[in-house]
Structure formats: C-alpha cells, structure tokens
Amino acid sequence: MSGVLRVDRLAAGYGDTQVLWDISFDVNPGEIVAIIGSNGAGKSTLLGAISGLVRTWSGSVTYDGRDLTGDHADQVVAAGVVQVPQGRRLFGSMTVEENLLMGAYLRRDKEIRSDLEKLLDLLPRLRERLQYLAGHLSGGEQQQVAIARALMARPKVLLIDEMSLGLAPVMVDQLLEIIKTIHATGVSIVMVEQDVETALEVSGRAYVLETGRFALSGPSSELLDDPKVKKAYLGI
Amino acid sequence: MSDGFLSIENVAMYFGGLRALDDVSFEVERGAVLGLIGPNGSGKTTLMNVVSGVLKPTYGNVRFGGKRIADVPTYAVCRLGIARTFQVVKPFANLSVRENVAVGAMYGRNGGSRSARASFDHAQELLEIVGLARVADRFASELTVPDRKRLEVAKALALDPEVLLLDEVMAGLNATEVDEALELLRTINRRGTTLIVVEHLMKAIVSISTAIVVLAEGKKIAEGAPAEVLASPRVIEAYLGARYVKRQRQREAGA
C-alpha cells in the first residue's frame, strides 16, 4: 500500500516569474485526485515541481513522510512518485520494448521481465507492437506506452499530465479503463486534465487551479455540479 | 448534390504494407464546414497531406475546381487556393508575429501582385481577425499555446485560401478558448472560406460542421449530416465510445 503524498505551501516558477503560490494538498493512499484549470494556470508546473523537474522556491513535497523537496527527478522516481509527461515524450527511435525497459532504469531487482509480461497482459495492443519503433505508433498507442513506461518504475503515486490530449473519445475510454485497473492495484493517481468532464468523472476529489493558486476544491461529484465549474470549464 | 468544388476520388495511400488510406472518396461543397473525424491512426492527417499536396496518393485523385491536383506540388497547391495548418505548429520562432503572417501574404495566392507594404497591412488585418493584434510585435516563440494556434490559423489565412484545412487547432484549449476558436472559424467561413476541420473535441465538431466524414483504419465508414453520422452504431463503436453516448443521453434528459 502507498503512503501519503503531501504538498505543503509550495511556491515555484521559472527565472523571476512566479507560477505557483501557496499550494497545499494531500493525496491519500488509493485516491484519484484531479487538478483542473486553464492553459497557463500552472498545472504542469505543479506536476514538475513534485517530480523534481521544476525547482521549488519554498514549501515542501513529502511522500510517506520522506522529504522530496529539491530532490532530483531520479530520486523522486526512486521514492515511488512517477510522472507520465504531457505529449508522451517517448524515445521515438527506440522500440516499444526498449521504451518500457527504460521505465525500469533505476531498478536492480530481478522482476523487471515478469513485470513487463504482466503489463503486456494488461495492454495486449502493446504486445502486438513490442518491436515497433515508438515514433511509428498512433497517438493512443503512444499514450499507452507512456503510461506503461511509468508503471515499469513500480510507482506508488502516478502523476499523469494531459492524458486525453489529441485522442479520440473511444481511445480516452480505453485509457480510463487502464487507469482504473492500475488504481485497483493500489496505486494513487494525480491527473492533470484539460478535459474537465473526464477528470471529474474518474477522480474522487479535485482541485481547481487558477493563475497559480487553488481557487476551489472538493469531491469531484460536487465540482461537476458547481455552477462556476460548469460555466468556466465545461462550457455548459 | 456535388458542385465539383473539391472532390476526393478513390484515394489510397500506402506506406510499405500499411494502407493508411484505402479507397476514400467524398465531396466537399463550396462554403461547407466539413468535420473529418476518426480514431488516432485512422488516416485523417494523411488525407490532409494528400489534399494539400504534401503526399502524392498511391492511387486515386483529388480534384479542385475541376482540376486534377494529386500530382501538383505543395507550393503550387497552396497558390491554387488550398492552405492548411499543422498539428504541431512551427512558426518562424525568431520572426515577429506580424512578420510570420506577412510571409504567407507575400507568398500565397495573391502574393505575386502584393507589395511588401501591402503584405504587412494584410497581415495586420488578419491579426485583428484572429485576435493577435495585441502581440503583433512579439516573437512567435513568446506566445502562449492558444495564441500559437491562432497564429497558425493566421499564417494559413494569409495565403488567401478558398479551402482551409485545420488539423486539430483546438487540441489543448479549454472550454472558453474552444468557444472563441469556434467563433473565429465561423467568421472565416462567413468570409467565404471552405473549411475542413480535423478535431477530436466532439462539442466543437457538432457545433460547427455542416457535414461529417468518418475514417477508421484508412477507410471511410460514414458520411453525411452531423446528427445522422453521430447516431450511427458503427461510428459509436469505432470512434465515439460508450461514455459519449451516455453523456449525450444525460444532456438530453437534463435539457
């Protein structure tokens, strides 16, 4: 079972430009938490700050009591917090299999192969495509590889950035089923999504990020009915 | 009824053993907004590439205003009046926003007869239409995601196209930004440009399309009026998925 991911009074930015102010939230073991907001609100910066890709200015990030603030990205992955980056960011000229094994780069145990087999049982499409170059796959298949690559690191918490971007509705359905299966194995999930309706349908709790601050939070089912959320993010 | 404006005729595109497009035919009427949808990897972008002359089809033909254009190179297709945007935008990063658009105005259908001064004036006019006049002097590389998409549209419009192919210009935009983008496309369409819109945002496709064509695995699986096409079991199975249908039912029940 996973521990608590805790972000406490986090501030972060680039150069002189502050992007995030006073961000605090917890992700409890086995939760799916969604972070929604407009372009430029700071969603990807927040995931980057947790992952060690964006330097934090103040505040802290801890997982299971261990301080990850200021750790390098590889140390964060080793601690069990693993990101699926926006735009997939696969190694396009490597095969699907090689991409998946890259996810296990930090592991020294003997179960890498058997984990790979289990994943391919979960994602039969990738088994068919195992020796294809990742860059030759369709968008939906690439997103499956990106998620599977993250899973090869044996995450306790999975951070997923804009999973649905540029994907057909039916493909998003399939990916959500995969996410639910992963979640059922005890992995906590933080989803950053532009597709607010999808994010609120699949998550238990959600936070609305506006210009670098949390403007609203609560159970996703309540946010789905919130007039402000409906108007600003669902367009209804 | 077909008006012979733009015809896709039995187009096939093979990459080695892969049939990216397989015997695809349909008509686009002048002034239409054609929504082109289909799963990832179904051949939508390949079809855009064929129509804009980036790819020469293995078989079949594209006819524009009665003229066969499948063998015409890209730069000439653009001067005949077919312009496009790209999914991954590639502005000239070190030119200003205005200069980026002026390049198209100098090069496109009316470019030969247009002075540099007139090209910059035309660029300015287009920036006002797409809502980028406020950042006309910035470098293209400084723009936000939605503004880069607007620039991509302005660059294509600068070619004075009769047909504009839009490849996922709304991906990554939020609900408010999508509404603004749709308003912009309606304005462009009202000014007389025929649109072919590739998009996964069904709300956008439904709201703007006058007709829809659906591709799956390189083949056309449905074509016609939006309501009819989106109710087709085959389209639901191959593209829309069960969640879409459920949401629609909930909306209708709530409305």
- Residue B18 maps to which CATH number? 3.40.50.300
CA atoms within 13 A on the CB side of B158: 33
Burial class (CB in 10 A: 0-12, 13-18, 19+), A27: buried
Q: Is A15 left (phi over 0), alpha (psi -120 to 50) or beta?
A: left
Q: Which candidate from B176, B200, B203 shows the least CB-CB separation from A168? A: B200
Q: Which candidate from B39, B145, B174 shows the least CB-CB separation from A233? A: B174
Taking CB atoms and an 8 Å limit, are B172 and A197 in contact across chains?
no
From chain B, the residues in CB contact with A139 under 8 A are: 40-41
Q: Is B128 within the bounds of a domain? A: no
Q: Is B157 within the bounds of a domain? A: no
Give the pLDDT mean for B95-106: 94
Q: Is B100 within the bounds of a domain? A: no
Closest-approach residue (CA) in chain B for A172: B241
How many Cβ pairs closer than 8 A exist between chain A and B?
80
Domain count, chain B: 1
ipTM over 0.90: no
Q: Is A164 within the bounds of a domain? A: yes
Closest-approach residue (CA) in chain A for B39: A168
Q: Determine the residue among A17, A39, A88, A229 to mutate to test chain B binding: the one whose Cβ has the most chain B Cβ atoms within 10 Å.
A: A39
Q: Is A105 within the bounds of a domain? A: no
Cα of B115 to nearest chain A Cα, Å: 38
Q: Is A114 within the bounds of a domain? A: no
From chain B, the residues in CB contact with A233 under 8 A are: 174-175
B101 by DSSP, 3-state: which? helix
pLDDT for A87 equals 82
| Phi, psi values for residue A215, rounded to 5° | -95, -20
Q: Is B246 within the bounds of a domain? A: yes
B26 by DSSP, 3-state: which? strand
Cα of A126 to nearest chain B Cα, Å: 15
Contact call for residues B113 and B106 (beta carbons, < 8 A): no
Q: Report the distance separating Cα A181 and Cα B255, nearest Å.
A: 34
pLDDT category of residue B186 using cuts at 50, 70 and 90 = very high
Q: List alpha helices for A59-162, DSSP H.
A: 73-78, 96-103, 112-122, 124-128, 139-151
Q: Determine the residue among A170, A192, A210, A228 to mutate to test chain B binding: the one whose Cβ has the most chain B Cβ atoms within 10 Å.
A: A170
Q: Determine the residue among B36, B46, B168, B200 to mutate to test chain A binding: the one whose Cβ has the most chain A Cβ atoms within 10 Å.
A: B200
Domain count, chain A: 1
Q: Which candidate from B173, B175, B242 shows the least CB-CB separation from A234? A: B175
Contact call for residues A141 and B172 (beta carbons, < 8 A): no
Per-residue pLDDT of chain A (236 residues; tens, 9 = 90+): 568 999 999 999 998 899 999 999 999 999 999 999 887 889 999 999 999 999 999 999 999 999 999 999 999 999 999 999 988 899 989 999 999 999 999 999 999 999 999 999 999 989 999 999 998 888 888 999 999 999 999 999 999 999 988 888 988 998 999 999 999 999 999 999 888 888 999 999 999 999 999 999 999 999 999 988 888 777 66
Task: Tell me which residue of A106, A79, A97, A90 sits closest to A5, measured CA to CA.
Answer: A79
Q: Report the distance separating Cα A194 and Cα A45, nearest Å.
A: 14
Rg (CA), chain B: 18
Taking CB atoms and an 8 Å limit, are B39 and A141 in contact across chains?
no
Closest-approach residue (CA) in chain B for A233: B175
Taking CB atoms and an 8 Å limit, are A39 and B145 in contact across chains?
yes
Contact call for residues A163 and A193 (beta carbons, < 8 A): yes
CATH code of residue A181: 3.40.50.300
DSSP A133: B
Taking CB atoms and an 8 Å limit, are B87 and A166 in contact across chains?
yes
| Phi, psi values for residue A10, rounded to 5° | -80, 135
**Tally of CB atoms within 10 A around B56:** 13
Residue B163 has pLDDT above 90, yes or no: yes
Q: Is B125 within the bounds of a domain? A: no
Predicted TM-score (pTM) of the model is: 0.81
Q: Report the distance separating Cα B9 and Cα B150, nearest Å.
A: 31
pLDDT for B173 equals 80
Q: Is B241 within the bounds of a domain? A: yes
A29 by DSSP, 3-state: which? coil
Q: Is B101 within the bounds of a domain? A: no
Q: Is A146 within the bounds of a domain? A: no
pLDDT category of residue B172 using cuts at 50, 70 and 90 = confident
Give the pLDDT mean for B146-153: 91
Domain membership of residue B72 as a residue range: 1-81+165-172+196-255
Cα of B190 to nearest chain A Cα, Å: 24
Interface of A with B (CB under 8 A): 38-40, 137-141, 162, 165-173, 176, 194, 196-197, 201, 232-235
Q: Which amino acid is at A223?
A: L
Q: Is B41 within the bounds of a domain? A: yes
CA A146 to chain centroid, in Å, comes to 10
pLDDT category of residue B255 using cuts at 50, 70 and 90 = low
From chain A, the residues in CB contact with B247 under 8 A are: 197
pLDDT tens across B73-87, in order?
999 999 999 999 988
- Residue B98 corresponds to which tokens in the numbers above? 């205005």
Contact call for residues A207 and A191 (beta carbons, < 8 A): no
